[in-house]
Amino acid sequence: MTANITALRRAFEQQFGRAPELIAEAPGRVNLIGEHTDYNGGFVLPVAIDRTVAVAMATRDDGVIRAFSVDYGQCDEFPAERVRRFMGTRGGWRDYTRGVVWALLDAHIPVPGVDIAITGDVPQGAGLSSSAAIEVAVAGALMAGTGIAARDLALLCQKAENLFAGIGCGIMDQFTSVMGQRDHALFIDCRSLQSELVPLLEDIAIVIVDSKIPRKLADTAFNRRREECAEAARALGVDSLRDADESMLPRLSGDLLKRARHVVTENTRVLSAIEALRSSDVVTLGRLLHESHASLRDDFEVSTPELDLLVELASRLDGVVGARLTGAGFGGCTVNLVREEAVGQVREAIVVEYNKQTGLAANVHVCVAVDGLRVSDA
């Protein structure tokens, strides 16, 4: 699956009475390992997935932006040059389109008047970065042909999310949505913003299980974790927890010790997971995923009973290499690495047992790694 481009073109024509000039498409992401490390200058290993947001666009000469959400049937109209921070309805899709326009203007990049139509199939509120996909698709369309560097585009989108939508996310989601590559995970050093492609294993599928417990990133919990990490870094006298190591941890106590211990050990796990992937060592890879989950549950305290249950159910099944919660936590999804031949059985077993124990109907997305932002003539 990915966004339906044919339906998008048709919706654009119906809404605006003319044909679009270009299409920009940007993927959601799932993180294999390296959670809550990005805003600590650390390491992450995400994958851009085949669930995308697509934007059709045509320019206007009156400086007005008309943005139409095909999926919500809603239109937002505003003069491009007059977008101010926090003028949107916080949390809705408009925040992401307006946020991108604001971030561009704030960086002194002129924004033309445009008609845009947006559609997508990235599950929302599930921790698969539907908001980053909107930002990247919109920014990719607005910046088409300007030669803007991929990493600058990602940073502008992150700024839209941080300062306009008000969520203190790191760079992982937007960077992956721009730079992801087919058949590969993306190792990102979130301090230097250097990245490296890591080939995925051919016979191992990426199975995402949505707990159906909605995750509200804007909730104070995410921003609170970020503050705690900054506080732990200050207490250790380092710029960020990237610079901390295990020998320093005894200088902390209580929650700060737990948060820092997660970040320090998770960074190490990302590096080990890359080695394991490169040497097709699925046993080690699986162990690292489980350790990551335990650390997020016990030290970072962002899991939920439902996510713990999904991981536990998966780990009992044949063919599952490893499982952990993915994304910010507080609900959302688990990521499971599953041998291709076992995907059907694993999917069925998890959904049935999860329903029996919680009454909830988990959604399963079997995903492949795709390329990041793609822009083409319509």
Q: How far is the CB of 233 from ligand GLA (least distance, A)?
A: 15
Question: Per rule CB under 6 A, is residue 25 in the interface with ligand GLA?
Answer: no
Question: Per rule CB under 6 A, is residue 36 in the interface with ligand GLA?
Answer: yes
Burial of 216 (0-12, 13-18, 19+ CB in 10 A): middle
Q: Which stretch binds ligand GLA (CB under 6 A): 31-39, 77-85, 93-101, 354-362?
A: 31-39
Question: Per rule CB under 6 A, is residue 35 in the interface with ligand GLA?
Answer: yes
The nearer residue to ligand GLA, 80 or 137, going by C-beta atoms, is 137
Question: Per rule CB under 6 A, is residue 99 in the interface with ligand GLA?
Answer: no
Closest to 262 (Cα-Cα) out of 302, 288, 300, 304: 300
Q: Which stretch binds ligand GLA (CB under 6 A): 4-12, 28-36, 66-74, 334-342?
A: 28-36
Question: Per rule CB under 6 A, is residue 140 in the interface with ligand GLA?
Answer: no
Rounded Cα gap, residues 45 and 31, in angstroms = 6
Query: Which residue from 12, 30, 33, 38 is in contact with ligand GLA, where contact means CB under 6 A?
Result: 38
Element at 115 (helix H, strand E): strand 113-120
Question: Per rule CB under 6 A, is residue 39 in the interface with ligand GLA?
Answer: yes
Residues within window 318-377 making contact with ligand GLA, judged by CB under 6 A: 327-328
Are the C-beta atoms of 34 and 43 separated by less than 8 Å?
Answer: yes
- How many residues are listed for the chain in this entry? 378
Three-state secondary structure call for residue 114: strand
Q: Which stretch binds ligand GLA (CB under 6 A): 35-43, 179-187, 257-265, 277-285?
A: 35-43
Question: Per rule CB under 6 A, is residue 169 in the interface with ligand GLA?
Answer: yes
Which letter does DSSP use for residue 359 in this model?
S
| 173 part of the active site | yes
Residue with token string 């087919």: 182
How many other C-beta atoms are found inside a 10 Å radius of the C-beta of residue 287?
Answer: 17
Burial of 230 (0-12, 13-18, 19+ CB in 10 A): middle
Rounded Cα gap, residues 185 and 198, in angstroms = 5
Q: Which of 121, 173, 210, 299 is catalytic?
A: 173
The nearer residue to ligand GLA, 15 or 162, going by C-beta atoms, is 162
Binding site for ligand GLA (CB under 6 A): 31, 35-36, 38-39, 169-170, 172-173, 327-328
